[in-house]
Structure 1
Amino acid sequence: MKSTQLFKKVFAGSLALASVLAISTTAFAAKTKVADVSQYQGNINWSKASKDLKMTIIRVKHGNAGDSDYRIDTKRNVNANGAAKYGVPFGQYDYAEFDSVADAQKDARQFYALSSTKAKFLVLDNEKRKSGVKSSEQTYVNAWLKTMRSLTNKPLVYYTYESFVTSHKINYSKFDGAWLAKYSSAKPKYTAALWQYTSTGSLSGISGHVDLSKIQNSSTVANWTKSTKATYMSSVKAGQKIRATRGINRYKTANLTGKIAGVKYNTTLTAKTIAKSSGGTYRIQLSDGSYITANKAYVQAE
């Protein structure tokens, strides 16, 4: 009798485990879609969308300051927070319109400052060539990439249409992969880890159409969504200039307590020495005696 009851308990437990595994596998299998979103998708129900999404790419801005069509995406933070809350890995993209090397550099700095710290990777959306510009589009792409490399160790991805690569002879091999658009049944002829194949897709949690993409190189895309470790500046020279690459705060102590004031991105500060918090984390003491983070995701040495 006891052995029979034990068998029944073990069997019941096995069924329960099998049921859980089956549900988990089914849920994982359902996460097959890759969508890019912006304010044009309205209020996304991320609880529902997360059931479909393997990954998403969120717009941060369109154009550069001074452009007639320039705008910062009103849903960039809402969408980033929604994706993060429901466990959807995400990158963010910068729809850029370059007219000079300096413009490309400025654009990269603003995009980085506006991007979410939770974004796994960052994308240059390079699909529009401004009229009347002098240098090759490649020159501007290179300037954007070089600036971004100085700001972050996150993967940097190149996006455009297949036709744009052909027209402007873009070499994107120095990026950490490419995401190309071609709305047809035939995938792009150029190397791309991600193929945006339609602009009329559908997704749970979104009313209306959404762009959908297919993964062409799973190992490359997997590398985009890996977490990157925080790295810190461990030494500075007295008088050295430090640029804030994001909005940060100045504090009274190395533990970053006693907020003094905010510091806008792209502000240059003067360092005095390196310091450590009580927990051993590097901080930068400024010439006025206040302290800021030494995290390289927020500051860089000039």
Structure 2
Amino acid sequence: MKTNSLFKKIFAGSLALVSALTIGTTAFAAKTKIADVSQYQGNINWSKASKDLRMTIIRVKHGNPGDRDYRVDPKRNVNANGAHKYGVPFGQYDFTEFNSSKDAVNDARQFYALSNKNAKFYALDNEKRVSGAKGSEQSYVNAWYSTMRKLTNKPLVYYSYQSYVSLHKINASKFNGSWIANYSKKPNVPTDLWQYSSTGSLSGISGHVDLSRTVNNSKVTSWYTNTPKDTYFTSVSNGQKLRVTRNVNKYKTANLTGKTGSLKYNTIVTAKSIARSTGGTYRIQLSDGSYMTANKSYVQVQ
């Protein structure tokens, strides 16, 4: 009788363990979809979407100031915060309409300034050429890439349609990877991530959504798992010119207390010296005596 009771307990425990493992495996397996989202997906239920998503790529803006159809995506922060809250790794993308290399530089700076600090990587969405643009599309792509590489050491990904890449003979080998759309079959141009559908479905979204699948799984995974840590300036020269790359505040102290003003992205400031907070974090003292972050994600050498 005792032996039978013990057997029943062991058997019941085994079933519980198998059940738990099965549920865990099923839950993990469910997180297989890769979707890109924007304002056109409306109000996303990120609690539900997170059950399906392996990762997501979120739009920040469409075009550049001066473009006829320029707009900042009104859902960029809502979507970034929702994905982050529910543990969905995300990158962000910049839909561009270049008309010159200078335009590409300004576009990259604004895109970076509007991006979310929790983004794991950044993608250039290069699928539309402005009428009247005279330079080569490759030169515009290179200008965007070079500007972004100076702003961040996070992965940079190139996105376009197979037909657009072929038409303009785009070489994206400098990027950390490529993401190509072709809805009929696998792209015949180099790609690590294949956007295969514009009519996909996803929990938490009513209506269609773009879906992608990996071609080079290890490379795509590296975009959101090998995110570099923030680095800080540890020295500056008195009088050195620096460019603010994201909107930041100025403070009375190196502990960043007593706000004295704000600095808009692209503002050029003059450094005086390096200081440290009571916790040891590096700060930049400006020529007016105020202090700002020394995080290189927010400021760069001019």
TM-score, with structure 2 as normaliser: 0.96
Offset from partner CA, 1:208-243 (integer Å, 9 cap, x none): 111111111111011100232010111100000111
Amino acid at match of 1:73: D
Residue 220 of structure 1 pairs with residue 222 of structure 2: no
Amino acid at match of 1:105: V
Amino acid at match of 2:113: A
Q: Could you tell me which residue of structure 1 aligns to residue 283 of structure 2?
A: 283
Q: CA deviation at 1:5?
A: 6.9
Q: Could you tell me which residue of structure 1 aligns to residue 118 of structure 2?
A: 118
The equivalences for 1:68-147 within 5 A come to: 68-147=68-147
Offset from partner CA, 1:228-271 (integer Å, 9 cap, x none): 20101111000001111001111111111111112111111110
Q: Distance in 1 between matches of 2:95 and 2:119?
A: 16
Q: Distance in 2 between matches of 1:43 and 1:52?
A: 16
> Unaligned 5+ residue runs, structure 2?
none
Q: Distance in 2 between matches of 1:280 and 1:189?
A: 52
Q: Distance in 2 between matches of 1:220 and 1:18?
A: 33
Structure 2 SS opposite 1:225: helix
Offset from partner CA, 1:16-64 (integer Å, 9 cap, x none): 3433222111011011111111000100111111111111111000011
Structure 2 SS opposite 1:142: helix
Q: Distance in 2 between matches of 1:135 and 1:7?
A: 78
Q: Distance in 2 between matches of 1:3 and 1:112?
A: 67
Amino acid at match of 2:295: N
Amino acid at match of 1:291: Y
Q: Distance in 2 between matches of 1:11 and 1:273?
A: 69
Q: Distance in 2 between matches of 1:281 and 1:172?
A: 37
Structure 2 SS opposite 1:94: strand
Q: Distance in 1 between matches of 2:153 and 2:170?
A: 23
Amino acid at match of 2:90: F
Q: Distance in 1 between matches of 2:190 and 2:21?
A: 36
Supply the RMSD in Å over aligned alpha carbons: 1.5
Q: Distance in 2 between matches of 1:153 and 1:257?
A: 29
Q: CA deviation at 1:9?
A: 5.7
Q: Could you tell me which residue of structure 1 aligns to residue 244 of structure 2?
A: 244
Q: Distance in 2 between matches of 1:3 and 1:84?
A: 51
Q: CA deviation at 1:272?
A: 0.4
Residue 293 of structure 1 pairs with residue 283 of structure 2: no
Offset from partner CA, 1:56-75 (integer Å, 9 cap, x none): 11100001101110000010
Q: Could you tell me which residue of structure 2 aligns to residue 155 of structure 1?
A: 155
Q: Could you tell me which residue of structure 2 aligns to residue 171 of structure 1?
A: 171
The equivalences for 1:180-191 within 5 A come to: 180-184=180-184, 186-191=185-190
Q: Could you tell me which residue of structure 2 aligns to residue 195 of structure 1?
A: 194
Q: Distance in 1 between matches of 2:22 and 2:262?
A: 50
Moved more, 284-293 or 142-151: 284-293
> Unaligned 5+ residue runs, structure 1?
none
Structure 1 SS opposite 2:186: coil
Q: Distance in 2 between matches of 1:299 and 1:23?
A: 46
Amino acid at match of 2:147: T
Q: Could you tell me which residue of structure 1 aligns to residue 47 of structure 2?
A: 47
Q: Distance in 2 between matches of 1:5 and 1:252?
A: 72
Q: Distance in 1 between matches of 2:3 and 2:119?
A: 54
Structure 2 SS opposite 1:198: strand
Q: Distance in 1 between matches of 2:19 and 2:153?
A: 41
